[in-house]
Structure 1
């Protein structure tokens, strides 16, 4: 393909040729990538013939940016594997595979192959962003509802605020305080105790009359319980965003006949989300597990040096330890999720 500039009249001629034959054939004859023809067609449709003819392209000396077949193949392969991803997400996934391509080029390839840009809802008023300063400082918890045929089911999600790592989840036909407690218990056993849990005021999380079993469990375990408020920095935005990702990337992409089939698919998605899917909220190049397990600096350093991090295996299933200070000033040391209470000895040294 020749790197050259086209006049607006020449572009119209190519578009006429594409209309008579196909976009790909017209692009091949013109010596350009087919995504360029799609770009011109969208511009022509939006501007009309007269405006298109007089339109002046900025920086005309650069010519048309070419996309190699290898990069196009990489984009389409990644998109096929993750049909719910947008151009930015695809670009970040490829960056981890040492494939450098701009988001604009990714978007062009995807649009030429059927991708439709989602319209973003505008947010009224100012927003304040809050983020925990370390893993297990704060976890967000929420419940997502959806249907399998006519059966209403629920996904319980427990998300680490700092890393966006999914600490625990379950798919149920009925929600209850006991099931919510089990998700938290399982996460504590596997990764260590979180210091605080943020939820809404749903009946499984909160009682308007007294205190329910979930709140009592958190109190007895020494986990602070906070309730989200509307238009407040400490809202459930992160776990709600995760819910949207599940809906768009999984639930809207597949039809499930049974609860078990859905559960297996969610389990696979959670594993991919934690260990393979790059996250825009933590910089775009890291996956949640890397930030949760303290590997972010090393991974970013490896990326900067051109190391193929996709071949690295991080065999970490849980945090080995974490230290929690309760409201009474007592320290509890968690080793592999099991609490070891620390007390001060007569010599001033801490003892287990």
Structure 2
């Protein structure tokens, strides 16, 4: 965060004086003064070199063929603070900070290359990819765990991430110590309480929400009771959650490669700081270099702590699922899932010798009665 404008010189002098006293850690001192550690080291070096603690001039030289030294230093400083950002993001970031006399993107790129801040091979990997996106915020959320890593205390950290498909807004970046349902459940409730409910939620088939055999889980039933359609990507096809995969790569490039986490508390603090930057400061290529927060708004659907069981219309044909997950239709038992144990499903005709089973607003199975075979066990919105 920037220095407070009215006290910029005195703030820097106070910071340098406290840094020399070493009464608290350098990181804590930087947080106290609301600056990054890189900025803190910069002012400490200038003081030790006998330089004034004032801003260096940023005025352009008005030369058509050469960018001023001050502007080049500004660009390089921004790049050093965000080493994974390219020319387009740096240009928009500096514009958002109020700088107007900036060179074009190609010139910024040349400045970075000239000063060994960027390599052609790395640049080639970051070409934007056009992806389909939902039309409105909260139409679809994508959820996944980033690959785990070891912290300095020897424990492993499993980052839980949730992303809004339309805006790319990061809804959750939670440092967890396991993939257990007990850890995941309260984290997701916290997100629902803060942002409301999505229309659909996409995740993979792994723990803690999936079933490697593609069956309906307790998580799926919970989502349907909240009137959210759970979607599971095809096994071995991570591209189904392309935006989550891209978010994980960005998290790795911009944070995890440059910082070692001490423990879960330290990791969560780092995640919170970076998530704020990602949502409110970092220009996003897929959004025309807008920040995600500009395209996101909280859902109008509030979270219900104890959602009721589905309410079926009068005269509906209902079937109760037994404790082993079976439902009886025409004197034959069909296995659905133990997750439905004790619940009622609505039976509807879907064609000659075929029926559908519905749980509230969702079709959860299709059955061919003549062959006594479940032909589909996927969750869809009921038409």
TM-score by length of 2: 0.56
Equivalent pairs, count:
238
Contact kept? 1:163, 1:292, Cα under 8 Å = yes
Corresponding residue number in structure 2 for 1:249: 254
Find the aligned partners of 1:172 and 1:244 in 2 and give their Cα distance: 18
1:57-136 alignment to 2 at 5 Å? 65-96=65-96, 97-99=98-100, 100-117=102-119, 118=122, 120=124, 129-136=131-138
Instruction: Tell me by how many angstroms 1:279 deviates.
Output: 0.7
Q: Does the CA-based 8 Å contact 2:226-2:304 persist in structure 1? A: no
Which has more radius of gyration?
Answer: 2
Displacement, 1:338?
A: 5.9
SS of structure 1 residue aligned to 2:240: coil
Q: How far is 1:64 from its partner?
A: 7.6
Aligned-partner SS, 2:93: helix
> Does the 8 Å contact 2:163/2:171 carry over to 1?
yes
What is aligned with 2:19?
none
Q: Which moved more, 1:63-72 or 1:258-267?
A: 63-72
Residue equivalent to 1:138: 140
Higher helix share: 1
Question: Greater relative contact order: 1 or 2 (C-alpha under 8 angstroms, separation 6 or more)?
Answer: 1
Matched with 2:46 is none
**Equivalents in 1 of 2:181, 2:200: separation in Å?**
17
Matched-pair contact (CA < 8 Å) for 2:149–2:158? yes
- Quote the Cα distance in structure 1 between the aligned partners of 2:219 and 2:138: 19
Contact 1:181/1:214 (<8 A) preserved: no
Question: Against the structure 1 CA distance between its residues 260 and 182, is the aligned structure 2 distance closer, same or farther, given a 3 Å change threshold?
Answer: same
SS at match of 1:235: helix
Q: 2:275 aligns with which of 243, 257, 270?
A: 270
How many angstroms does 1:153 deviate by?
Answer: 1.4
Instruction: Quote the Cα distance in structure 2 between the aligned partners of 1:132 and 1:279.
Output: 16
CA contact (8 A) 1:178 1:214 kept: no
After superposition, the C-alpha distances for 1:74-96 in whole angstroms (9 at most, x for unaligned) are 21221222223222221221232
1:291 shift after superposition? 0.6
1:156 aligns with 2:147: no
The equivalent residue for 1:196 is 200
Partner residue, 2:150 = 147
Q: Is the 8 A contact 2:170 2:275 kept in 1?
A: yes
Partner of 1:264: helix, strand, or coil?
helix
Structure 2 CA distance, aligned partners of 1:143 and 1:232?
Answer: 15
Residue 228 of structure 1 corresponds to which residue in structure 2? Answer: 233
* Change beyond 3 A, Cα 1:258–1:113: farther
Gaps of 5+ in 2: 1-62, 309-383
CA contact (8 A) 1:168 1:186 kept: no
Cα distance between partner residues in 2 of 1:82 and 1:128 = 24
Query: Superposition RMSD on alpha carbons, in Å?
Result: 3.1
Q: State the shift of 1:168 in Å.
A: 1.8
Aligned CA distance change for structure 1 residues 84 and 92 (closer, same or farther; 3 Å): same
Q: How does 1:316-327 map to 2 (within 5 A)?
A: 319=298, 322=300
Match of 1:170 in 2: 174
Query: Does 2:189 match 1:185?
Result: yes
Q: 2: distance between equivalents of 1:120 and 1:73? A: 25
Structure 2 residue matching 1:84: 3-state secondary structure: coil
CA-CA distance at 1:229 after TM superposition: 3.5
Q: How far apart are the structure 2 equivalents of 1:67 and 1:267? A: 36
Residue 238 of structure 1 aligns to a residue whose secondary structure is helix
